Amino acid sequence: MNLFQKTASTILASSLIACAAQAQVSDDEIRIGYLADMSGTYRDLSGPGGLEALKMAVEDFGGQIDGKKIVIFSADDLNKPDVGANTVRQWVDERNVDMVTGLVASSVVLAASKVVEQSGKLALISGAAASSLTDEFCSPNHVHWTYDSFALANGTAKAVLANGGKNWFILTADYAFGHAMEGDITRVVEADGGAVLGKVRHPFPSSDFSSYILQAQGSGADVIALANAGADTVNSLMTANQFGVAQSGQKLAGMVVFLNDIHAMGLDVTQGLMLTTGWYWDLNEETRAWAKRYEERVGKMPGMVPAGIYSAAMHYLNAVKATGSDDTQAVRAQMMATPVNDMFAKNGHIRADGRMVHDMYLAQVKSPAESKGEWDLYKIVRTIPGDQAFRPLAASQCKLLAKN
């Protein structure tokens, strides 16, 4: 962030805090809604585990802030935009929910975030990937926390290109997230002298990827990029393994790969895969300590999404405490004015477009011989500084930037 951008963000944050300084906690409770896929394609990357991470944050605050109880509501969005939007509308109208978090499928998030903005509430997006959420769809009422398609493409695609993968074929989930990822992959590949030879979009979700993998193999591309996530990515990789893609000399690039995906498929199938992640449980003592607490509750190690949910919730609750208010703009301004320093990120910051900027990590999946335990799955190849990982503000279409 340059000096102008820092100054603009600071002025905006300070003015919003001052304007809402007299606000109080409404209904004498801080009410949080957790909306996620609890039963479908994205269940394992967030779902019930993300809810437990949110509960951990609330418990770490003692369940209250200055005597005001913190209350959690939760619901399954079924990966359906209408269900997500209607759930949030009901929470706002009937329960006066202050903040909504979780938020995984980008199509659901786009629908739910409109309700959040119209109602003047706050959304902390921790599971969705579409970088458009802080670009053409940015809002003064949401913050995008954990990762996005721009950062994942920047990390993984650049690494694969550097290793000789110049010609690409993209297999895309046919909805908002997949489209955003497809665009971000194309941008990186073409900017670095590569070429996209072909693309195919599959319905979301899908269970049979045979025809799509055959098209990718037939393209003759050096690299098959998977612009999908969750069970769709797992099924794509398993099908590619069955069809001998790696043995034929083509590389697979899983653009949105999570720890639970690698664990589910096993190192025999995934070894050597390059991926980008916003967090890893084995980075340092602080991450390991938090991950152990999570594992004791959930029975498995956390990936980056539950860790991001905890981090975002803690930052929010600290802002509520600092302002003495659950007023959306006062809290968001306080969050913007306060660096993120926790087990998830160091020196993270929230930009005017709502993007929480933090370091990302290029990782490679270990071989069975390299792994020392069930969840010892990644080698961190390098750290990608936040200001290099995410879309620069100079390239943003966010409507909020024109006001600063």
Task: Tell whether the model's pLDDT for residue 346 goes beyond 90.
Answer: yes
Q: Which domains does the chain have, with CATH numbers?
A: 3-147+284-354 (3.40.50.2300), 151-269+363-386 (3.40.50.2300)
For residue 359, the model assigns a pLDDT of: 97
Bridge partners (DSSP) listed for residue 213: none
220-249 pLDDT, tens digit each: 999 999 999 888 999 999 999 899 988 888
Cβ-contact 176, 106 below 8 angstroms: yes
153-211 pLDDT, tens digit each: 889 999 899 888 999 999 999 988 899 999 999 999 999 999 999 999 999 989 899 99
27-70 pLDDT, tens digit each: 899 999 999 999 998 899 899 999 999 999 999 999 999 999 99
Cβ-contact 383, 358 below 8 angstroms: no
CA distance 315 to 338: 9
For residue 230, the model assigns a pLDDT of: 86
263 by DSSP, 3-state: which?
helix
For residue 64, the model assigns a pLDDT of: 97
Task: Tell whether the model's pLDDT for residue 10 goes beyond 70.
Answer: no
* Residue found by looking up tokens 């809810």 in the block: 51
For residue 402, the model assigns a pLDDT of: 72
For residue 345, the model assigns a pLDDT of: 98
For residue 11, the model assigns a pLDDT of: 47
CA distance 231 to 261: 8
- Give the closest residue to 358 by CA, choosing from 174, 148, 168: 148
CA distance 266 to 191: 34
99-148 pLDDT, tens digit each: 999 999 999 999 999 999 999 999 999 999 999 999 999 999 999 999 99
